[in-house]
């Protein structure tokens, strides 16, 4: 038996496929709790469209307080409103990320050896790919001022005599850049000791500062190999030589775009988990927000078609980083890998000769593997 503990987890299933995939992640966590003798206390809250309907806001202050009082937050997905809607469901994410200061978003990409053929990239290019993108999450273009007319960081559409114009603000302070770059270097020390800092310093002032700060911080890590790469070149090299990357660190929007691209190395967006961390510690680890990288996919919502693996691997990251349960996290990851090896696939990964399962059935198989693996660990 592992050490027994009691943990509180805020669960925010959200919109579209969010509830379906989160349900499976919770089932897998329940299997872990049972096998290892832990007690997980799940507290559910509304976010996104459901919260806007019921509470008028994408996330209420009460829900935010529940999150703040928990050891970790498990998030599904939000989105699906009409463009230009008065309240955006995505604001729930921005309030959580910014309000709770989760500035470091870790997005690991490690294609399963059994799935190299599922990718649109040639298997020989995918051989040995094991990278992690460290995406800055609380600055840049995502956080222009939300109130129109407020000076400083405008983000708005405005009318002029010549017609409409729109503006967003890309602002980074030196301190914001330094803390995220340090996260990348510290991570690299536990991995293959290589950091690639990605910017657009040939065009953007914010990137010139980014590069200058990254360069300075790199001097504190002489044991870690360091390079700069322009974001357009990075997009190309991600599919040309993905195995050459170890840790990639970049600003908010570049990280958003590059990780959707990188998810294709792993076969599907439905495979990639993420952890959003700050500096606050809880009794057991680092306080964090855990989100699969995929969105709410309204087109397949409620049809038992969505791939729950990203959400389940996200739960594994939660165990590792926020609850300090490393063995339990590894058990989930091994269970997922074994299910993939056994040939189970969801619709997004349809392949000749593989068994296609629904969201529930895939979650069920993974939970069963967790029980089998944990059982053999504990005898």
Catalytic residue list: 142, 200, 232, 256, 260
3-state SS, residue 33: helix
C-alpha pair distances (Å), 175 with each of 81, 187, 188: 35, 19, 20
The vertex-309 CA angle with 366 and 97, nearest 5°, equals: 130
Q: Which option in ligand IPM, Mn ion, none does residue 50 bind, with CB closer than 5 to 8 A by kind?
A: none
Q: Which residues in this chain contact ligand IPM in the complex, by CB under 6 A?
A: 79, 90, 93, 256, 291, 293, 295
Q: Rounded CA gap, 154 and 214, in Å?
A: 27
- Nearer Cβ to Mn ion (199/256): 256
Q: Which option in Mn ion, ligand IPM, none does residue 308 bind, with CB closer than 5 to 8 A by kind?
A: none
Tell how strand 156-160 and strand 163-167 pair up. antiparallel
| In the complex, least distance from residue 74 CB atom to ligand IPM, rounded to whole angstroms | 14
- Nearer Cβ to ligand IPM (90/251): 90
Q: Which option in ligand IPM, Mn ion, none does residue 297 bind, with CB closer than 5 to 8 A by kind?
A: none
Q: Which option in Mn ion, ligand IPM, none does residue 176 bind, with CB closer than 5 to 8 A by kind?
A: none
Count of positions on this chain that bind Mn ion (CB under 5 A): 1
Q: Decide if residue 15 touches Mn ion (CB under 5 A).
A: no
Q: Which option in Mn ion, ligand IPM, none does residue 79 bind, with CB closer than 5 to 8 A by kind?
A: ligand IPM
- Nearer Cβ to Mn ion (96/201): 96
| In the complex, least distance from residue 275 CB atom to Mn ion, rounded to whole angstroms | 15
| In the complex, least distance from residue 203 CB atom to ligand IPM, rounded to whole angstroms | 21
3-state SS, residue 256: helix
- Find the radius of gyration of the CA atoms of the chain: 21
b/e burial code for range 297-309 (CB count within 10 A of at least 16 → b): beebbeeebbbbb
Tokens of 135: 């995406």
Q: Decide if residue 348 touches Mn ion (CB under 5 A).
A: no
Q: Decide if residue 333 touches Mn ion (CB under 5 A).
A: no
- Taking contact as CB under 5 A, which single stretch among the options 27-35, 70-78, 208-216, 248-256 is the one that binds Mn ion? 248-256
Tell me which residues in 250-289 interact with Mn ion (CB under 5 A): 256
- Nearer Cβ to ligand IPM (31/184): 184
Give one word for 68, left, alpha or beta, with left for phi > 0 and alpha for psi -120 to 50. alpha
- Nearer Cβ to Mn ion (60/296): 296
- Nearer Cβ to ligand IPM (146/342): 146
Q: Which option in Mn ion, ligand IPM, none does residue 20 bind, with CB closer than 5 to 8 A by kind?
A: none
- Whose CA is closest to 154, among 163, 141, 139, 164? 141
| In the complex, least distance from residue 274 CB atom to ligand IPM, rounded to whole angstroms | 7
Chain position carrying tokens 């993974």: 366
Element (H, E) at 361: helix 359-378
3-state SS, residue 215: helix
Q: Which option in ligand IPM, Mn ion, none does residue 90 bind, with CB closer than 5 to 8 A by kind?
A: ligand IPM
- Whose CA is closest to 307, among 263, 277, 276? 263
Tell how strand 194-199 and strand 247-250 pair up. parallel
* Residue of minimal Cβ distance to Mn ion: 256
* Residue of minimal Cβ distance to ligand IPM: 90
Tokens of 181: 């770059």
Alpha-carbon dihedral sign for residues 357, 359, 365, 369:
positive
| In the complex, least distance from residue 200 CB atom to Mn ion, rounded to whole angstroms | 18
Q: Rounded CA gap, 159 and 239, in Å?
A: 41
| In the complex, least distance from residue 45 CB atom to Mn ion, rounded to whole angstroms | 22
Point out which residues bind Mn ion (CB under 5 A): 256
């Amino acid at each position: 038996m592992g050490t027994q503990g009691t943990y509180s987890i805020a669960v925010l299933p959200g919109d579209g496929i969010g509830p379906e995939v989160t349900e499976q992640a919770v089932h897998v966590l329940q299997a872990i709790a049972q096998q290892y003798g832990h007690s997980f206390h799940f507290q559910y809250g509304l976010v996104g469209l459901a919260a806007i309907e019921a509470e008028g806001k994408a996330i209420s202050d009460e829900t935010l307080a529940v999150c703040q009082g928990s050891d970790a937050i498990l998030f599904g997905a939000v989105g699906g409103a009409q463009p230009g809607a008065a309240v955006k469901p995505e604001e729930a994410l921005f309030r959580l990320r910014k309000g709770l200061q989760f500035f470091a978003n870790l997005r690991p990409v490690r294609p399963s050896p059994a799935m190299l053929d599922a990718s649109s990239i040639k298997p020989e290019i995918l051989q040995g790919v094991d990278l992690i993108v460290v995406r800055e999450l609380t600055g840049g273009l995502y956080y222009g001022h939300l109130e129109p007319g407020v000076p400083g960081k405008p983000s708005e559409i405005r009318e002029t005599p010549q017609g409409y114009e729109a503006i967003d603000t890309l602002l980074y302070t030196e301190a914001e850049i330094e803390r995220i770059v340090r996260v990348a270097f510290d991570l690299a020390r536990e991995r293959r000791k290589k950091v690639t800092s990605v910017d657009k310093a040939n065009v953007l002032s914010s990137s010139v500062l980014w590069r200058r700060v990254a360069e300075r911080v790199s001097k504190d890590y002489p044991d870690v190999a360091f390079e700069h790469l322009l974001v357009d070149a990075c997009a190309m090299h991600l599919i040309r030589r993905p195995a050459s990357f170890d840790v990639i660190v970049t600003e908010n929007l570049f990280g958003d775009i590059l990780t959707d691209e990188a998810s294709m190395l792993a076969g599907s967006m439905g495979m990639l988990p993420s952890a959003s961390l700050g500096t606050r510690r809880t009794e057991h680890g680092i306080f964090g927000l855990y989100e699969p990288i995929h969105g709410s996919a309204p087109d397949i919502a409620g049809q038992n078609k969505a791939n729950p693996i990203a959400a389940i691997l996200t739960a594994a990251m939660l165990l590792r980083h926020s609850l300090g349960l490393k063995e339990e996290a590894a058990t989930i990851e091994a269970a997922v890998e074994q299910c993939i090896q056994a040939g189970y696939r969801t619709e997004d990964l349809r392949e000749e000769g593989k068994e296609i399962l629904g969201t529930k059935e895939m979650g069920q198989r993974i939970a069963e593997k967790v029980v089998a693996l944990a059982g053999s660990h504990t005898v």
